[in-house]
Structure 1
Amino acid sequence: MEIFGIKFAPLNVPLKRRLETLSAAVCIILFAFGNFCGYILTAYFLFFTETMRYFILLYFVWMYYDWNKTDMGYKRRKVLNWIRNCVWQRYFCSYFPIKLVKTTDLDPSKLYLFCNFPHGILSSGVYGAFATDAAGCKELFPGIEFKVVILDQHFRAPLFREYCRINCVVSSTSESLNQQLSMEPEAPYTGRATVLIVGGAAEAMECKPGTYRILIKRRKGFVRLALKNGAPLVPVCSFGETNLFDQVSFPEGSFMNKLQNYIRKKTGIAPVIPVGRGLFQYSFGVVPRRTPITVVVGSPMELPKIEEPTVEQIDEYHGKFIEHVVDFFEKEKYKYVENADSVHLEFV
C-alpha cells in the first residue's frame, strides 16, 4: 500500500515478521545510540533523583574497579550464553536473514585474527554471525570462542559498557587485541577467533549499496599484532552488508563532509545519516532493509611469530594479505553478488 509516495507494510504481516523487524530496530538503535543514552541516563540519575544518585556513585566505584578487567566471571558468562542464544537474537538474524558460511576447516586449538570487510553502516552481519549463536558459528567452528572487536569508546560509556561487556565484544585498543591473540581461552573453548573490522568507523562513511569500498592499505597495525603473536589472518567478507542502508552523503571538501570527518576523528564514531526503512513503512527510517547478508569465512594466511617485526616485514605480510583478500573476494563474489563481473574491491 502506497500513500503520498510512502510504501506502507501490509496490515496482515505475520507476528513472527513483526517481531523480527522489532528486534532489528532495537539492536540497531541500541548500538547507534547506546553511548549517548548511557551518558544521558547517568546524568539524569546523578543530578535529578534523590535515591538513584547514590547507586550511580557506587556504580562509578565499580567502573573504576572493573575498568581493565578481562575475566568475566561465572555470572557474566551465564548471562553471555543466555544473550547469545536467546530468541531475540534469532529474530534479529532471521530478519535479514544472516547466513554464516565457512570455506575451510580451522584448527580449533589456534588463536586467529578474523579480518572482516566491509564495515557497512553498523556491521549487522558481523554481530549476527559471531556475537550470537543464531547463525551457527559454534557448530561450524567447534572449540573456537568468538570475540568481536568494537570501539574502545563504547567501554567508557556508563551503563552501556555493561551491555558491551556481556555481549561477546572486546575493546579495539592494541593492549586488548594483543591479549586476545596471546592468551588461551577458558574451557570449554580450545581456540579463539578475534573478529576485527579493519576499516573501522571511517569505512562506514564509504558505504553505498552494491559497492565494496574498504580501508585496508593504510591500516597495518593489525598485521604487526598478528606477527607479534604468530596469529593466522583470516579474511571474512559480509556480502550484502552495504545494501542495508543508503546514506545522506555530502560532496568531498564541503562543510558537512569536513564536519563529519572532524567528529569521527574526535569521537571515533562515524556520524553518518542512514536511510533505511521504518517499522511500518519501507520508504525511510533507521531500521535496516530486509536484505540477505552472507558472512563468508575464508582460508587462513599463516604468519610467522616475530616478537618485534620490522617495518619491512609488516609491509611484506600486509601486501601478501591484501592479495589474499582480493583472491578470496574474486572467488566468492559470484555466489553472492548480482552482476559480479562489474563488482570489485575498491581500496580507499
Structure 2
Amino acid sequence: MVEFAPFRIPLARRLQTFAVAHFLFCFLLLAQVCTFLFLYVLVFTSYWIYLVPYIVYYIYDWNSPEDGGSKRSDWLRSWRIWSYMSDYFPTRLHKTVELDPKRNYLFGVHPHGVLSISAFTHFTCNGSGFDNVFPGFRAYLAMLPFWFRVPFYRDYIMRGGLVPSTKKSIRSVINKPGGGNILCLIPGGAPEALLARPGDITIILKSRMGFFKLALTSGASLVPVISYGDQNVWEQAEYTPGTWSYSFQSFLLKYFTFCLPSFHARGMFQYSFGLLPYRQSLHTVVGEPIEVVSISNPSSDDILRLQKLYIEKLLDLFESNKGKYADKDCKLIIT
C-alpha cells in the first residue's frame, strides 16, 4: 500500500526535497541531457553556428580539468540549494584535530555510498558548512575523468571543485604552493557503490595500492575520513555472480569505468517507492593526519607499510566514533 506524504508540509522541507531531486537529476541525467542537446543542435538544427564559439573554447580548454581545479567557483559552491540538500538528511561534518592551513592534505573518504552523498555535500559545495569547519582550506573532490569530456556538463562540475581522478590532476592540487588545499579521493571508486546496502559499511581498500603510492610520491599528509549512514539512505539489489545484473555491472566497470547501481527508496510525494533517498542523518568524521615522507620511487614494502598504518588508523577512527553516529552493531568491513 502506498504511503503518501501529508499535504501540509513546511516549505523548508519541500525545498529540501526539491534540492535532493535536483542533485539526482544532475548526477544521473544532466550529462546525458547536455550531450543530447549539443548533438541535436549541432546536427539537426540551423542553430549550430551558435555552438562554434563553445566548440573553439572546448578545444582550447581541453586540458583545464587537470590544472588543479582552477575553475572552482566559491559563488556556485555557496548556492542556498546545497544547504537545503544537506538539511534534508541532515549531513554533518566533524573534525577530530586542527589541520595546518599552510599545508596540503590528501583525504581518503570512505565509503563511496550509492551516489557519494556525504562527500558531495561536504567537499563539492558548502552545504554542510565546510568553510566554517575548515577555515582557510579549499576542498576538491576527485571524479571519474570520463565526465570531464561531456560538453557544458564539464564546465558545471568544475565550478564545484570537482577534478578528474588522474595522477596529474590529483598532484596538481596537493602540490600547490602555499598550502590550504585538500584533495578528497574515494579509493573504493565505482565498484564500491555496488556494495552500499543498509547495515554494515563495506569498503574496497586492500587492492588500492595506487592510492598509497600516490601519497608516498607526493609526500602529502594522508587523512582517513569515515562517513556513517551513507549505506542506509537507499536500498540496493544484491549483485550475485552468474546473474545478468552482475554481468551487466561488470561490463560497465570494465569498459566504461562506471556502474549503474539498482537502488530505490522513496518518492517526491509518497514514501513507498522512488529514487529519492531516505531522510537519514549522515555524519562524516575527519581523522588525524598520517605524516608521509616523500619517496620518489616507493617499493612494495613502503606501500604495504603505509597501507597497514592507514587501515589501523581508519579502524580506530571508525570504532572511536561509532557509538555517537552509528548503531553499536555496525561493522566496518575492509576488502
TM-score (norm 2): 0.95
Q: CA deviation at 1:254?
A: 1.4
* 4+ aligned runs moved over 6 Å, structure 1: none
Shift of 1:72: 6.5
The counterpart of 2:311, out of the listed 308, 315, 322, is 322
Among 290, 296, 310, the alignment partner of 1:301 is 290
Q: CA offset at residue 222 of structure 1?
A: 1.5
- Tell me, yes or no, if the aligned pair for 2:104 and 2:180 is still in contact at 8 Å: yes
1:235-266 deviations in whole A, cap 9, x for unaligned? 11111111111113342221221111111221
Structure 1 residues 145 and 72 mapped into 2: Cα distance closer, same or farther (>3 Å)? Answer: closer
Question: Residue type of the partner of 1:85?
Answer: S
Secondary structure in 1 aligned to 2:170? helix
Q: Which residue of 1 aligns with 2:165?
A: 172
- Return the letter of the residue paired with 1:343: C
Partner SS, residue 261 of structure 1: helix
The answer to whether the 8 Å contact 2:68/2:163 transfers is no
Aligned residue number for residue 10 of structure 2: 14
Q: Note the alpha carbon deviations across 1:6-62, whole angstroms, 9 max, x for none.
A: 1110000111111110100111221122322221111111122211x1233332221
Residue 100 (structure 1) shift: 0.6
Kindly provide the amino acid, as one letter, of the partner of residue 137 in structure 2.
I
Residue 59 (structure 1) aligned with residue 54 (structure 2): yes
> 3-state DSSP class of the match of 1:226?
helix
Match of 1:183 among 158, 176, 195: 176
RMSD between aligned alpha carbons?
1.5
1:249-288 residue pairs with structure 2 within 5 A? 249-288=238-277
Counterpart CA distance in 2 for 1:276 and 1:211 is 18
Find 2:21's aligned residue among 19, 22, 25: 25
- Give secondary structure in 2 for the equivalent of 1:7: coil
**Shift of the alpha carbon at 1:347?**
2.1
Give the 5 Å matches for 1:189-268: 190-268=179-257
| Inter-partner Cα distance in structure 2 for 1:128 and 1:72 | 17
Matched, 1:346 2:302: no
Aligned mates of 1:335, 1:88 — CA distance in 2: 28
Query: What does residue 84 of structure 1 align with?
Result: 77
> Mapping of 1:115-194 within 5 angstroms?
115-184=108-177, 190-194=179-183
Q: Which amino acid aligns with 1:226?
A: A
Q: What percent identity do the matched residue pairs reach?
A: 35
* Distance in 1 (alpha carbons) for counterparts of 2:113 and 2:43: 37
Helix, strand or coil: the match of 2:285? strand
Secondary structure, counterpart of 2:29 in structure 1: helix
Task: Say which SS state the counterpart of residue 253 (structure 1) adopts.
Answer: coil
What amino acid maps onto 1:54 in structure 2? I
Equivalent residue for 2:41, pick from 45, 56, 70: 45
Per the TM alignment, residue 184 of structure 1 is displaced from its structure 2 partner at its CA by 2.4
Structure-1 separation of matches of 2:291 and 2:3:
50
- Residue 21 of structure 2 contacts residue 276 of structure 2 at CA under 8 Å; is this kept in 1? yes
TM-score by length of 1: 0.92
Deviation at 1:230, TM superposition (A): 0.9
Instruction: Write the distance in 2 (CA, Å) between the matches of 1:205 and 1:113.
Output: 24
Name stretches of at least 5 consecutive residues in structure 1 with no aligned partner.
Answer: none
The amino acid across from 1:202 in the alignment is: P
